[in-house]
Structure 1
Amino acid sequence: MKFLVCLLMLVSNAAGLLDLSGKAFIFPQQTATAHVRLTPASVSNTGENAVTVCHRSFTDLRRDHSLFSLASPTKNNEFLVFMKWGVQEIQPHIHDIISGYGGLDYAPNKWHSMCTTWDSSSGLVQLWFNGQPLMKRYIAESPLTNSPVIVLGQEQDNHGGAFDANQSFVGMMTDVHMWNYVLSACEIQKYMNELIFTPGNMLNWAALEFQITGRVLIENKEMSCNVDQLCS
């Protein structure tokens, strides 16, 4: 009986591979512990030469917070998407090098769709925000280091930990996808408009392997009902 209880606890801690279509992770409070660790479906032994990461988020935070954190054994911010509140910039980090995008309508209590692309052959990074492509900028040319740890809800200050509650994400996050190539403009627009698009080959929201630590909930991302639902 004791063995069975332990086995059930292990199963409950490892969410495994799930289809999260129509669902969202809810991060309901500021902590230095609550997070979701994502397991990519494939990782190159020599590191990734290109990356696209897309996600949608909803928050009312008025401070710094992490939107996507990938750390390697040698660089904490190997691939990070971070909202730097003080300067009102969304900042992609590649190999700890920062490129800031300001002047965006990052309004509270609204869904925002973001895609970040980077290609080591050119060294160019680009942010797409709510369907709008922003400037391509040079940031870094060398491939991403292998052995990544990918975290939602926290910003890693070492490989898989050292979280700071003041940089934690509080809100909702959904539709997280990651590709090991630069997604075409057409595919990104399809993602932004919630049309049929090619799902991520590294992270796919419809077949996601992950593990939750702390108070993170999974709920429907739909936040309103239509007239037909009201009348039924």
Structure 2
Amino acid sequence: MERLVVLFSLFLLTTAKRQDLSGKMFTFPVESNTHHVVLNPEMNKIFFTVTVCLRVFSDISRFQSPFSLSLPSCDNAFSIFKENHVYILNILNEGQNFWGLKDEYNVWNSVCATWDASTGLAQVWVNGIPSSRKGIKAGGSLTGIPKIILGQEQDSYGGHFDAAQSFVGMLTDVHMWDSVLSPDQIAYYSHGGQFTPGNVINWNSLEFSTNGYVVVESKETSHEVGNM
């Protein structure tokens, strides 16, 4: 029993560290309103253009949130949600649904989301296939120090999580840029080619802290090599 308590306590440690996570993934094994990963870009700037890319592996069809960026003035400043096969991009508390993007359960799916404030045009790419482009918050900007959470949706700056919106599954290769990537760069990312790592969030040099029951492990344990 004592050994089990010690092992479980290791899951609950919160320590910020910078690592190269190439070939690794975060596993979120259970639904909760506490378990999450905090990314630490430590960047106070104004974003007028954004691209976020990540890969997810899940069998959950309910609404869930793998990536949530909040600002002091806005809880859903740049958040990616998924429900069934519909992707939702919420920017500055305004959301749009992106339909008809082909993904599958229990395999790796590559997801990228882009936004250009000058036009408001936003787009979601799944496994290299683009959505229709939709307008969200033209003329807006992301201003302030961001708090970026993996595995939960922030209903306040850095917290107030809801278990019914938590991500359950595996997540890897998270990158964020302060630009809109070209279709070629998104294709390289989606299909395992050479691409320029994120200059805001870089999976190959990631500063993060795990909170609660989140496991860092090799992607090889997923036993699935497609769409990587």
Same fold (TM over 0.5): yes
- Classify 1:225/1:151 alpha carbon distance in 2 versus 1 (closer, same or farther; 3 Å): closer
Structure 1 residue corresponding to 2:171, chosen from 169, 173, 180: 173
Q: Which residue is 1:230 aligned to?
A: none
Q: Which residue is 1:18 aligned to?
A: 19
* 1:69 matched to 2:68: yes
- Classify 1:41/1:204 alpha carbon distance in 2 versus 1 (closer, same or farther; 3 Å): farther
| Partners of 2:19 and 2:207 within 8 A in 1 | yes
Give the aligned residue type for 1:167: Q
Q: Which residue is 2:83 aligned to?
A: 84
Instruction: State the 1:42 CA deviation.
Output: 3.6
Distance 1:93 1:145 in 2: 16
Give the aligned residue type for 1:25: F
| Partners of 1:27 and 1:171 within 8 A in 2 | yes
Q: Which residue is 2:49 aligned to?
A: 50
| Partners of 2:128 and 2:187 within 8 A in 1 | yes
Instruction: State the 1:80 CA deviation.
Output: 0.5
**1:13-162 alignment runs, 5 A limit:** 13-40=14-41, 42-44=43-45, 47-85=46-84, 88-141=85-138, 142-162=140-160
Instruction: String of CA shifts for 1:162-196, please: whole Å, max 9, x gaps.
Output: 00000000000000000001011111111001111
| Partners of 2:100 and 2:131 within 8 A in 1 | no
Give the aligned residue type for 2:21: L
| Partners of 2:43 and 2:146 within 8 A in 1 | no
* DSSP 3-state at the match of 1:188: helix
| Partners of 2:80 and 2:88 within 8 A in 1 | yes
Distance 2:43 2:178 in 1: 9
RMSD of aligned C-alpha atoms? 1.6
Q: Which residue is 1:6 aligned to?
A: none
Distance 1:198 1:225 in 2: 24
Distance 1:162 1:126 in 2: 28
Count matched residues: 212
Give the aligned residue type for 2:129: Q
- Classify 1:225/1:167 alpha carbon distance in 2 versus 1 (closer, same or farther; 3 Å): closer
Q: Which residue is 2:192 aligned to?
A: 194
Distance 1:203 1:104 in 2: 25
Which ranges in structure 1 are unaligned for 5 or more consecutive residues? 1-8, 227-232
* DSSP 3-state at the match of 2:198: coil
| Partners of 1:115 and 1:129 within 8 A in 2 | yes
Distance 2:61 2:113 in 1: 22
**Structure 1 moving runs of 4+ over 4 Å:** none
Q: Which residue is 1:229 aligned to?
A: none
| Partners of 1:42 and 1:201 within 8 A in 2 | no
* DSSP 3-state at the match of 1:191: helix
Sequence identity (%): 45
Distance 1:69 1:17 in 2: 20
Distance 1:89 1:201 in 2: 28
The two structures have a TM-score, normalised by structure 1, of 0.87
Distance 2:224 2:162 in 1: 36
